[in-house]
Amino acid sequence: MMKLFKYELHRILCNKFFAGLLVITFLYSYQVMAGEIVLGTANTAPFSEWSFGMYLSRMLPILLITLLFFVSFFYSRQEQEVRRITDTTPMDQKQLGLLRCSAMMVGFVCISVVSVGVGLWFYAVNFQYTDFSHFLLPGLLTLIPAMLFFLGIGIMIGKIHPALIYALMPLVFLLGYLPIPNAFDLFGSSFFQKMPLSLPIGTGGEPAFTVPFSVWIGKAIYTALGLFLIILGLTRKSGNRSIYKAKAGI
């Protein structure tokens, strides 16, 4: 199974498309950091947990679109032809789907590391700030629920029709800029911008990083829903298979 996982991961990472996305992510990360985050978020320091969380929320659209591109690889016409063959083999299709989900998540982590790395490098070079342990909580809070939620949605709509995955991509950018209540703010931009303004100034001269219970509940719901959709997608037969059969005259 490890060989199969490495093969699926190789398909995602070792291609010109992914290399291009890495370059775009690197350049966009620097632009966001140098153009917006350098000023700080909600009157906090550029290297505060609030500002770093805001940075990742700005990066989430491009990171999630990359994830959706990964999902689209496995619903392409070529992949459907391969799947018709693998369906006749004794290979457990649910296990294969789980391996592919794992490979897509690793790919998301890899491209997220680029964004995180640019941010940390920017802090170290421009502010001589290297206490990066404070960024772990806002980083996980921002990236993990969004990754699982959109992976689940991508898998489900891809089974209906692959074109729906591409239709979802513009909506990802739109969601990143909509004013959403903190408890339902998947990307976190509203939370990181507004929450510090409602908190008292701490001993460090800025509000301490605090996550309300309602935000934790919202993130937990997105995470659970994402996991549910992933499991449902792995156990449900693809609805677009008949489409490809009809086009092929089968």
Give one DSSP letter per residue of 152-170, joined into a string: HHHHHHHHH-THHHHHHHH
Residues of the chain with pLDDT under 50: 241-250
State the Cα–Cα distance between residues 21 and 2, nearest whole angstrom.
Answer: 26
State the Cα–Cα distance between residues 89 and 224, nearest whole angstrom.
Answer: 32
Whole-number pLDDT of residue 247: 42
Per the confidence metrics, is the pTM higher than 0.85?
yes
State the Cα–Cα distance between residues 79 and 98, nearest whole angstrom.
Answer: 16
Tens of pLDDT, residue by residue over 48-79, are 999 999 999 999 999 999 999 999 888 776 66
Whole-number pLDDT of residue 8: 80
Place of tokens 């929450």: 195
